[in-house]
Amino acid sequence: MFSSLNPHVLRLQFPSLQQEINGQPAMFLDGPGGTQTPVGVIEAMSEYLLRDNSNQGGRFATSQRTDGLLAAARQAAADFLNAQRPQEIVFGANMTSLTFHFSRALSQTWQAGDEIVVTRLDHDANISPWLLAARDRGVAVRWLDFHAEDCTLALEELPRLLTEKTRLVAVTYASNAVGSITDVARVVRLAQAAGAQVYVDAVHYAPHGPIDVQALACDYLVCSPYKFFGPHSGILYGKYDHLASLAAYKVRPASSQPPGKWETGTPNFEGIAGIRAAIHYLATIGELYAGPDLPHLSAYSGDRRHLKTALHLIQQHEAALSLRFLRGAAGIPGLRVYGITDVERLEERTPTFAVSLTGYTPQQLAQRLAEQGIFVWDGHYYAVAVMERLGLLDQGGLVRIGFVHYNIAAEVDRLLQTLADLTP
């Protein structure tokens, strides 16, 4: 039972976190690049291969179990995103492949002279597919900028970019580089009032906060289970009517109904078993919560409520890590944190920090931390437009420190001490 999230208990479920590097406990601050998996996910995947391994739609036991798994996993993903129905969930290889595939179909509805909006805060997987689709269809691209001081999207500019010709706004829910969270509901209101659809990249946001596609009213939303404690895979949500009416690129015998028409080829069933188990892991965190009622979650019930509760607890724990990190970072000479650093604004960011340290290139700093068993990324992490806008693309980008719910205060302190020791 939890009255707040207890990361020490949850960490025991993650075998990989027990590793040592050069005699020191490994510190996984690479969550924005991919999270570790709890034992339930690992077991679900191996059990599928041991016992149920088959293809879908057969008349025999293993195939029927595979059909059952697919239905249960789709329901779990619908619960995770609060989708109206499981047929709105499409499984795929990863967010990038799903987005390329989907953009090709969606752009068939565009005309030459139409317009789309992309943002400079996005990962390139929510930019390039749209740039290429726009090029193929003779569609103009408008760019929504972000404020360099705090790396938040310049939403006040959006109304000016929207015209009666705008067909799509592609926007990130949270930046995988600097952690800023977008007010997606506001983007949707503005875009839909102008007659445009909205495609939300929730890959970075998904492990850090609750998602409700019905409350957002977005047309499409994508996320990647390997960023929220599951296996390497991707999920696309689309409003049912859109998925039903759009023409999909598919082989002739494949289903003509969603979601089957969007799932090309044989799905990764063992991965889908892992997705279901990852969502179950999160739901269990919410189910075990024995604290005061969370009134704003009363609209949800069953697993949907457990999932929202879990993500709420995760937000609280991660905000405490962010606070500790930002307070400590402010006292380290030469350490610069990009994005929101105001500790009164923690609800506007995930615990993902892009930093530089005087005297080190990002590559050198990441290398020095790696030698001490601290795993961080350096470079642009495909947030090319972010680094370009900050003028850092040609200088090796930044070092990215990413906390998730299994990180603990003692790790923040060890990181801060290591950074302080590295200062010249």
Instruction: List contacts with ligand PLP (CB under 6 A).
Output: 94-96, 123, 125-126, 172, 176, 201, 203-204, 224, 234, 382
The CA-atom distances, in angstroms, between 106 and each of 238, 251, 294 are: 12, 17, 39
Instruction: State which residue, 93 or 141, has the beta carbon closest to ligand PLP.
Output: 93
Nearest-approach distance from CB 270 to ligand PLP, in angstroms? 17
């707040």: which residue's tokens?
4
């506007």: which residue's tokens?
348
Find out whether 155 and 186 touch, Cβ atoms under 8 Å: yes
- Pick from 181, 200, 173, 203: nearest CA to 94: 203
The two three-digit tokens of residue 252, written as one number: 């002739």
The CA-atom distances, in angstroms, between 200 and each of 90, 111, 203, 250, 289 are: 15, 22, 9, 23, 30
Find out whether 303 and 283 touch, Cβ atoms under 8 Å: yes
The CA-atom distances, in angstroms, between 332 and each of 85, 336, 415 are: 50, 9, 12
What whole-number distance in Å separates Cα of residue 218 and Cα of residue 153? 18
Instruction: State which residue, 54 or 176, has the beta carbon closest to ligand PLP.
Output: 176
What whole-number distance in Å separates Cα of residue 240 and Cα of residue 260? 12
Instruction: State which residue, 37 or 309, has the beta carbon closest to ligand PLP.
Output: 37
Nearest-approach distance from CB 386 to ligand PLP, in angstroms? 10
Nearest-approach distance from CB 118 to ligand PLP, in angstroms? 13
Nearest-approach distance from CB 314 to ligand PLP, in angstroms? 17
Instruction: State which residue, 173 or 300, has the beta carbon closest to ligand PLP.
Output: 173
Nearest-approach distance from CB 168 to ligand PLP, in angstroms? 16
Instruction: State which residue, 106 or 422, has the beta carbon closest to ligand PLP.
Output: 106
- Pick from 202, 99, 111: nearest CA to 164: 111
Nearest-approach distance from CB 225 to ligand PLP, in angstroms? 9
Nearest-approach distance from CB 320 to ligand PLP, in angstroms? 23
- The answer for residues whose C-beta is within 8 angstroms of residue 221's C-beta and 6 or more apart is 81, 173, 199, 200, 202, 211, 213, 236, 237
Instruction: State which residue, 222 or 321, has the beta carbon closest to ligand PLP.
Output: 222
Instruction: State which residue, 74 or 380, has the beta carbon closest to ligand PLP.
Output: 380
- For residue 246, report the phi and psi dihedrals to the nearest 5 degrees: -70, 145
